[in-house]
A and B are shown apart, each in its own frame.
Chain A
Amino acid sequence: DAKTTQPPSMDCAEGRAANLPCNHSTISGNEYVYWYRQIHSQGPQYIIHGLKNNETNEMASLIITEDRKSSTLILPHATLRDTAVYYCIVRVARGGADGLTFGKGTHLIIQP
C-alpha cells in the first residue's frame, strides 16, 4: 500500500469547516483513498473513501486532486464531537483479506 503523509495536529473552530489534508504521492492506479477516525479510547470509524472523483456522504466530503497525489477530507460544520485522530489510508478496494496500515494520522481538535 502507498504511504501517506498527514499533519500531526490541527485546530478548527466549532461550526466551521475542517479541512484535513493528506499526501499520497506514490498512490497506484488501483488504490483508493480511505479515511477513518478514532475518537479517544474507541475503535476506528469509517468515514469515506474514493478513487478519483470527489465523494460526499452524510459525514464528510472527500476531494481528490486530479493527479491523485493528494486529497482533502472536509467536515463541513465541525462539532466538538468531531475531535478525534483522523487517518488517511491508501489501499486496494475490496481488499478484504488484508489488514490496514495506519499511519500517525492528524489529531483534529475542535475548539468551542
Chain B
Amino acid sequence: GAVVSQHPSRVICKSGTSVKIECRSLDFQATTMFWYRQFPKQSLMLMATSNEGSKATYEQGVEKDKFLINHASLTLSTLTVTSAHPEDSSFYICSASRAGEQYFGPGTRLTVT
C-alpha cells in the first residue's frame, strides 16, 4: 500500500512553454502532498506544500506564480511550471502524506530546451 505515481516520468519542452506534472496517490487519500525539486548532484529541496481544497504554501525563494500548484482532489495534485526556462530543468518529485508519513513518487525529469 501507499503507492504514489507521477506523470509524465520525463518531459522535454521548449523555453517559454508551460508543462504540467501530475502526482497521484493510488491507494490512499492524501490531504497533504509535497513538491520537491532536485538539481543534478544535489539533494532534494522542498518547494511547496499542497493542501486539498486550499492554496499551496511555498518555501522561501520559490515563485508561486511560476510554479502553480492545484490539489483538486484527495488523490491528485498538479504542478504546472509556467513559462519554463532552461534553469527550470530539474528532477521534480512529489510525496503524499498518510498517517504522518510521507510516500514519494518516482519523480519527473523536466528538460527545457
Contact = CB atoms under 8 A, between A and B. Distances in A.
A30 to B, nearest CB: 13
Given A41-B109, A46-B103, A96 B43 contact: no
A101 B107 contact: no
Interface string A81-112: 00000010000011111111111110000000
Contact of B43 (A45, A94, A99, A103): A103
B43 A104 contact: yes
Interface of A: 38, 41-46, 87, 93-105
A86 to B, nearest CB: 12
B52 to A, nearest CB: 12
B78 interface: no
B100 A99 contact: no
Interface of B: 4, 6, 32, 34, 36, 43-46, 49, 59, 91, 93, 95, 97-107, 109
A102 B99 contact: no
Given A43-B106, A44-B44, A99 B36 contact: yes
Contacts of A97: 32, 49, 97
B109 A96 contact: no
B105 A101 contact: no
Contact of A43 (B100, B101, B105): B105
A87 B42 CA distance: 12
A75 B83 CA distance: 44
Contact of A99 (B6, B34, B103): B34
Nearest to B105: A43
Contacts of B97: 96-97
A95 B98 CA distance: 10
18 contacts: A38-B44, A41-B91, A41-B109, A43-B4, A43-B105, A44-B93, A44-B104, A46-B101, A46-B102, A87-B43, A96-B101, A97-B49, A99-B46, A99-B102, A100-B44, A102-B36, A102-B44, A103-B43
